Chains A and B, each alone.
Chain A
Amino acid sequence: MNGGILRRIPWSLAAPAFFFAAAFAAPLVFVAVRAAGAFRNGAEILGSPYFRGVLAVTVKQAVLSTVFSVLFGLPGAYFIGRCRFPGRNLLKSLSTVPFVLPPVLAVLGFILVFGNSGALNGFRDLLTSQNAEPWKILYSLKAVVMAHVFYNFPITLRLAGDAWASLPQSTVRAARSAGAKPFRAFLTVDLPMLTPSVATAAVITFLYCFLSFAIVLVLGGGPELTTLEVEVYRLVKYKLDFDGASALAAVETLIASCLLIVYGLLSSKIAVRDDSINVRRNPLPLRGFRGFAAAVYALPALLLLAAPIAAIIINSFLSHTGWTGSLGFSLKNWKNLFGGAGPGSAVLLGAVFRSLLLGAAVSVLSVATAASAARYSAQRKGKAAGIIGISAAAPMAVSSIILGLGYLLALNRLPNFAFARKAALLCAQVAVALPFSYRILSAHFKSSSQRILQAAKSCGASSLRVFFTIELPMAKRALLTSAVFSFALSAGELNAAVILAPSGFTTIPVAIYQMIGAYDIQGACALGTLLILLCASAFFILDRMGETGL
């Protein structure tokens, strides 16, 4: 068309695009180059039994975790989607908890509940004779799968629950009056409408479990149970084998990218129904058999959701009375945290301070990047919008361990390495937060009509005035939601932090991880409670905002 090449460059997109290239694409290029070099030098990594073993375990735990997450999520989806009962909204809100709860806290909670001397075994000792052989759940495939189910069944609960709730009244009536019995109508009419949502939940669960880090690292219990993600970390951290790490990282990212593409295709199939025409079904009361089934389901579900968190909070107020003494109530852990006498207290307070600062910075950068990209793509649509959408989702397929590896490869020749690592940590966390921020913001910008901006202009407002008096106030909710979400993600982010943070630069999750490693479980709980408070406030803000678009 008219205008030179200069006019066709989207300048408003230049800053976010540049940031995205530097923070996300560049480290990946380093990993890819290193991996290509490793393959060319004849390293037979991919053919070795070692590699095949790691890949097999990775896939196996992800498959098991996905199957159980979906199976455990579906009944809940039915109750939340189709039934009415007191506490339904609360339950729906609670299902967002794992979205803001950092994995390191899930790990900590699982140790407290399912550990050899954890709450479950303690409870069993009370009921039966003392000194029975404890149930050994932790440090096994079982523990990893259980933690993954805890973490991921709410995805199915939410996606399938929403789909179930929005099934239209008319289709099932049409099926029934055409002569189908209730069960046949369910199989032939409802199930096909639910399938895209369930499949989407399954794929995203598989992706998360495939890339899972902290849960496998700690609860897996050692080198026998190791996944690609954990192995990349071990190779970098303990063996300094950058070639091998890059090769594994390349394979992992390739598989994850395929999963992400499948996820994108599936989630686009989830029908958005127009509620002005579509009449939803009347929710069913929870009585009789249905009520009994709900109770049977709710007990383990609530326990699974609440017990680990409750255990962390309770344990933060306990400590050992002597070297071998039993646990008793004490404020020691909290005193340690807030400038107690112990040598670690300054470190801990520093970690809190650093996490807050880092979270704020990540929040600002991720929202600014996502907002400008989402605004641009909502205005253009077409091919450019498609490319932006794919790019913004891409970090979901790349674990921050791999991103961290890329930064290490890129930065290790710089003179001020420590400073560069801090900057890299910031960038990696922004990349982690970006897909979520983008999804929230692009939902907002897509739904707001271009006509409103035109109306403001025809009222006589300049572009700047329209931006400040119309666009910004209208986007306030979406901006705040994505900012809070980014903050929560950063505050709980362990992966990039353990690989990138220079020594002495501990954040809250890193400190918790180190305290678990040093068997200072109760100390970790005090810090963990602080992190829970942080995430809980984020959760309440998000809940007040209503639909987050996640």
Chain B
Amino acid sequence: MKGSRLTFEEITFRRGSFRLEANTYFNEGKFTVVLGPSGSGKTTMLDLAAGFLLPSGGRILEGERDVTRLPPERRSVGVVFQDYALFPHLNVRGNIAYGPKARGLSRREAAAVANRFMEMTHLAHLAERNPSSLSGGERQRVALARALAIEPDILLLDEPFSSLDASLRVSLRRDVKRIQEETGVTSILVTHDQDEALSLADDLAIMNNGRIIQQSAPSELWKNPKDLFTAQFLGRTSRLSVKRYEINENRTLMAHTAAGPIPVPADIDPPPPPATVIFRPEDLIRDEKGDLTAILERCEYAGGSWKGHLVPREAHPGDVLEIDFPRADNPPPVKKSIKLRLSRGAVRILPGTWT
């Protein structure tokens, strides 16, 4: 199985007032995760890639092959559906052998292919079972094996773990990642679960309102979000509205916020207000000599640490500071003022205010 690159070239799609626009590609052999809130157009994008929907403009390429107008059965795309969509009248082997048979293999060859993929997904002992007698995790693996059995160039996964419980989710996630690495199939998974996204993705695309807002390696997205939506969608984020910029006596450019002044890193070009300073919880440190002041509003035990939630005095609406207190500390008293500092160079300043 060799993966090929999937390209969306100036793709537009409209349905009612919803409008999707995409101009991007998904790297061959890589695992791309599309992350976005519900209604952002993630599933529509998969439907376009699979050929269940036709775009109103643009081209879709599998490698060099233009597949824009090809029906699903002439593409090389395997799909794992959210509700699995197993064939209820066929047993596990029948489900997995369906694709190979439809693609012209003899009954015996198709059964051999099915056996190979049942081994890979640990389903061999369930071969004769009917889908209705399987557990959620088992159904999910049948759906995966069925999608892989046509040895596709591209594998699409539509929120494949959403109806499973938390522990199963993590182990199946590992299985999927392992199988993807073994087969090298270009994979695109859509989800609204950011843990899933960060742990699986070679490449992470953030989607909102029918557009891909930012697409790159997860660590890059984490450190360097391009806009407030991305910052908000990935992890806990501290955000402070910029009141004004000032150059202080040390000739450093400072962004003044309700919590206090924050030095602007030399490598960024600060946007004019309205703008928002953002940073991650791990970069905020409790320090009696710190320049920042905020009131601890509440503290949640997170097993091993405390998650603190602070709001500065005279805060701009939306201003919030997120902090992790290490285990050694007893949680500081709530409703009290705390002094804080930021590790160097950890902030980003993005245009706009938090909504």
Q: Which B residues, 201 to 254, have Cβ-Cβ distances below 8 Å to chain A?
A: none
Known A-B contacts A451-B83, A456-B102; the reply to A462 vs B73 at CB < 8 A is: yes
Closest chain B residue to A455, Cβ basis? B85
Cβ–Cβ < 8 Å partners of B85 in chain A? 449, 451-452, 454-455
Stretch with Cβ within 8 A of A (4 or more), from B74-82, B191-199, B344-352: B74-82
Chain B residues with CB under 8 Å of A473's CB are 89
Cα of A461 to Cα of B83 in the assembled complex, Å? 20
> How many residues on A have C-beta within 8 angstroms of the other chain's C-beta atoms?
18
CA gap between A521 and B69 in the complex, in Å: 70
Residues in A whose Cβ lies below 8 Å from that of B99: 459-461
Residues facing A in B45-103 (CB within 8 A) are 50-52, 71-75, 77-79, 81, 83, 85-89, 98-99, 102-103
Q: Which of B79, B102, B149, B150 contacts A454 (CB 8 A)?
A: B79
Residue A470 CB within 8 A of the other chain: yes
User: In the complex, A455 Cα to B50 Cα: how many Å?
Assistant: 10
B141 is an interface residue with CB less than 8 A from chain A: no
The residue on A at minimum CB distance from B96 is A459
Taking A458-B72, A460-B150 as contacts, is the C-beta distance between A452 and B87 under 8 angstroms?
Answer: yes
Q: Does B146 contact A (CB under 8 A)?
A: yes
- Tell me, in angstroms, the Cα distance from A258 to B88 when the chains sit together: 40
Q: Please state if A457 and B72 are interface contacts (CB–CB under 8 Å).
A: yes
Shortest distance from the beta carbon of B63 to any chain A beta carbon, whole Å: 18
Question: CA–CA, A469 to B94, complex, Å?
Answer: 11
Q: Is A474 an interface residue (CB 8 A)?
A: yes
Give Cα A457–Cα B52 distance, bound, in whole angstroms: 9
Proximity bits, A354-386, B CB within 8 Å = 1, else 0: 000000000000000000000000000000000
Are A458 and B87 in contact, CB atoms less than 8 angstroms apart?
A: no
Is A465 in the interface zone, CB < 8 Å from B?
yes
Smallest distance from the beta carbon of B96 to chain A beta carbons, Å? Answer: 10
A169-189 contact mask (Cβ, 8 Å, vs B): 1 or 0: 000000000000000000000
Question: Known contacts A451-B81, A451-B85, A474-B88: does B75 contact A456 (CB below 8 Å)?
Answer: no
Q: How far is the CA of A455 from the CA of B83 in the complex (A)?
A: 11
| Mask of A42-60 contacts with B, CB within 8 angstroms, 1/0 | 0000000000000000000
User: Are A459's CB and B50's CB within 8 A?
Assistant: no
Residues in A neighbouring B86, C-beta threshold 8 A: 452, 455
Contact B79 A458 (CB under 8 A): yes
Give the distance in Å from the alpha carbon of A469 to the alpha carbon of B99 in the complex. 12
Contact between A461 and B73 (Cβ–Cβ < 8 Å)?
yes
A454 and B78 CA atoms in complex are apart in Å by: 11
Known: A449-B83, A455-B81, A456-B87. A469 touches B72 (CB 8 A): no
Whether the Cβ atoms of B88 and A457 lie closer than 8 Å is: no
Q: Which of A454, A456, A460 contacts B50 (CB 8 A)?
A: A454
**Do A454 and B72 touch (CB < 8 A)?**
yes
Q: Which residues of A contact B87 (CB under 8 A)?
A: 452, 455-456, 470, 474
Partner of A458, one of B73, B83, B88, B89: B73
Q: A474 contacts B72, CB within 8 Å?
A: no
- Pick from A455, A460, A470, A474: contact of B103, CB below 8 A: A460
Whether B98 and A457, one on each chain, are in contact in the complex, defined by CB atoms closer than 8 angstroms, is no
Assess the B102–A461 pair: CB atoms within 8 A. yes
Over the window 436-471 of chain A, the binary record of Cβ atoms lying under 8 Å from chain B Cβ atoms (1 yes, 0 no) is 000000000000010110111111111001000110
In angstroms, Cα B52 to Cα A199, docked, is 43
Look across to chain A and name the residue whose beta carbon is closest to the beta carbon of B82.
A451
A460 contacts which chain B residues (CB < 8 A)? 73-74, 99, 102-103, 150
Cross-chain contact A458 with B98 (CB below 8 angstroms): no
| A449 to B81 Cα, complex, angstroms | 11
Is A459's CB under 8 angstroms from B102's CB?
Answer: yes
- A455-B146, A459-B146 in contact; A465/B50 too (CB < 8 A)? no
Shortest beta-carbon distance from B131 to chain A in Å: 11
A453 to chain B, nearest CB (A): 9
CA A247 to CA B48, docked complex, whole Å:
57
Q: Which residues of B are found within 8 Å of A449, using beta-carbon distances?
A: 83, 85
A216 to B150, CA, bound (A): 64
A424 to B153, alpha carbons, bound, how many Å? 57
A2 to chain B minimum Cβ distance, whole angstroms, is 9
Complex contacts, B149 vs chain A, CB 8 Å: 459
Nearest chain B residue, comparing its CB with the CB of A2: B56
Q: How far is A430 from B39 in the complex, measured between Cα atoms in Å?
A: 45
A452 CA to B150 CA, complexed, in Å: 16
Contacts of A458 in B (CB 8 A): 50-51, 72-73, 75, 77-79, 147, 150
Residues of A within 8 A of B75 (CB): 458
Docked complex Cα distance between A465 and B75 (Å): 16
* A451-B81, A451-B83 known; A456+B88 contact, CB < 8 A: no
Q: CA–CA, A322 to B353, complex, Å?
A: 105
Q: Which of B71, B89, B150 contacts A459 (CB 8 A)?
A: B150
Q: How far is the CA of A469 from the CA of B149 in the complex (A)?
A: 18
- Nearest residue (CB) in B for A454 is B52
A457 to B73, CA, bound (A): 5
Smallest CB–CB gap between A270 and chain B, Å? 25
Please state if B81 and A457 are interface contacts (CB–CB under 8 Å).
no
Bound-state CA distance A35–B78 (Å) is 62
* Shortest beta-carbon distance from B202 to chain A in Å: 23
Q: Inside 8 A of B79's CB, which chain A residues have their CB? A: 454-455, 458
A30 vs B48: C-alpha distance in the bound complex, in angstroms? 51
In the complex, what distance in Å separates the CA atom of A458 from the CA atom of B146?
10
In the bound complex, CA of A440 to CA of B75 (Å): 36
CB-defined contacts of B73 to chain A, threshold 8 Å: 457-462
Assess whether A469 is in contact with B50, with CB atoms less than 8 Å apart: no
B98–A461 touching, CB < 8 Å: yes
Report the bound CA distance from A459 to B71 in whole Å: 11
Q: Specify which chain B residues have a CB less than 8 angstroms from the CB of A461 in the assembled complex.
A: 73, 98-99, 102
Please name the residue on chain B nearest to A475 by beta carbon: B89
Q: What are 19 A-B interface contacts by the 8 Å CB criterion?
A: A449-B85, A451-B83, A452-B85, A452-B88, A454-B50, A455-B87, A457-B71, A458-B51, A458-B75, A459-B103, A459-B146, A460-B99, A460-B150, A461-B99, A462-B73, A469-B102, A470-B87, A473-B89, A474-B89
A-B residue pairs, 10 tightest by C-beta: A459-B99, A461-B102, A451-B85, A457-B72, A460-B103, A455-B85, A460-B102, A452-B85, A458-B79, A473-B89
Beyond A454-B81, A454-B85, A469-B98, 12 additional pairs, beta carbon < 8 A = A452-B88, A454-B52, A455-B81, A455-B87, A456-B98, A458-B75, A458-B77, A459-B150, A460-B102, A460-B103, A461-B98, A465-B102
